[in-house]
Amino acid sequence: MKPLVLFAQVSFVVVLIGAWEFGDRVGAFDPNILPPPSAVIVSLRTLLQSRSFIADASDTIVRVIAAFVIGAPLAVVTGFVMGENIGVGRSLSPIFNLVLAVPQSIFLPVFVLVFGLGFTEKLIFGISHVFFVVAVNAMAAVREVPHGQVVLARSFGASKFRIYRSIYLPAMAPQVVTGLRLGVIFDIIGILLAEMYASRSGLGVLLLRWGESYDVDKLMAATVLISVATILINELMRIWETRVGRWRQAMEDR
């Protein structure tokens, strides 16, 4: 069953790319709008050798990482406090859920007005994307820590720190990592969006510029590259998620 499914999935992708290439060759598609995969691969190779493209890509990567490194720990701590402290949780969690309901992209013009066009604006916009989803998941994770296990650890003389390390940490890990995975994706969305809207450097700027100037080969190449990169990041995070959540999965399968 499993190899068959994999075969079907791979064939689907191969057929799709083949049809795309074939369509261009026979003139069914306009190569000025949809260039064939072979042309995209050639232009991808030149892009990866271009110093200026690498510089723009690095700017984007630095922004994404910086926003995550600052936003994620802040969010985990906030979510933890909200989960542990019923008063704080009750007052803040409705607000967080409301914020999550609003498309954050609409705040972008305001961010630009307040923070300008530099690194700070993109960093803060990225952090705002990471923060809420990670915090809400961390809070839910704390609430899931079984009270009985905490009492048990206390009865064996466990210190507060030991309870956090031996009970809270493993019990919370699966849900927190889910939050982090979504956080990375939201982070990338936020940074690329901020770059496309108004920026001096970054992949977002390039995408927008190439789109406007009909530089379709490059546009397609960068789009494919970013897609592959985000898929890889997501899958790596998912592996981590499965690893820390194996025990929970096993319990659900029972």
Partner 1 sequence: MTAARPIVIETRGLGKVFSVDRAPIVALEDISFAVREGSFVSLVGPSGCGKSTLLQMLAGLVPSTAGEVLVDGLVVRKPAPDKISVMFQDATLLPWKRVSENIEFPLEIRGVKAAERRERAAAMLSLVGLTEFAARYSHELSGGMRQRVSIARALAPDPRIMLMDEPFGALDEQTRIKMGHELLRIWSKTGKTIFFITHSLTEALFLSDVVLVMSHRPGHIVGVIDAQLPRPRTYDIIGSAEFGAARNRIWKLISQDDDEAGANGMASL
Under the binding rule (CB under 8 A), the answer on residue 149 touching partner 1 is yes
Q: C-beta of 48: minimal distance to partner 1 in Å?
A: 42
| CA 55, chain centre distance (Å) | 21
Binder to partner 1 among 135, 167, 205, 222 (CB under 8 A)? 167
Dist. CA 166–CA 159, nearest whole Å: 10
b/e 103-120 (16+ beta carbons within 10 angstroms → b): ebeeebeebbeeeeeebe
148 binds partner 1 (CB under 8 A): yes
The least distance separating partner 1 from the CB of residue 245, rounded to whole angstroms, comes to: 9
Taking CB under 8 A as the rule, does residue 247 contact partner 1?
yes
Whole-number minimum distance, CB 19 to partner 1, in Å?
47
Among 27, 156, 160, 161, binds partner 1 (CB under 8 A): 156
- Return all residues near 191 (Cβ < 8 A) that are at least 6 apart: 60, 63, 64, 67, 122, 125, 126, 129, 202, 204
Is residue 254 a contact point for partner 1 (CB under 8 A)? yes
Task: Give CA–CA dist 201/119, Å, rounded.
Answer: 10
Q: Which long-range contacts (CB under 8 A, 24 or more apart) does 11-15 make?
A: none
Shortest separation between residue 170's beta carbon and partner 1, angstroms: 5
Q: Which stretch binds partner 1 (CB under 8 A): 45-53, 63-71, 155-163, 185-193?
A: 155-163
For the chain, the residue count is 254
Question: Where do contacts with partner 1 occur on this chain (CB under 8 A)?
Answer: 146, 148-149, 151-158, 162, 166-167, 170-171, 246-248, 250-251, 254
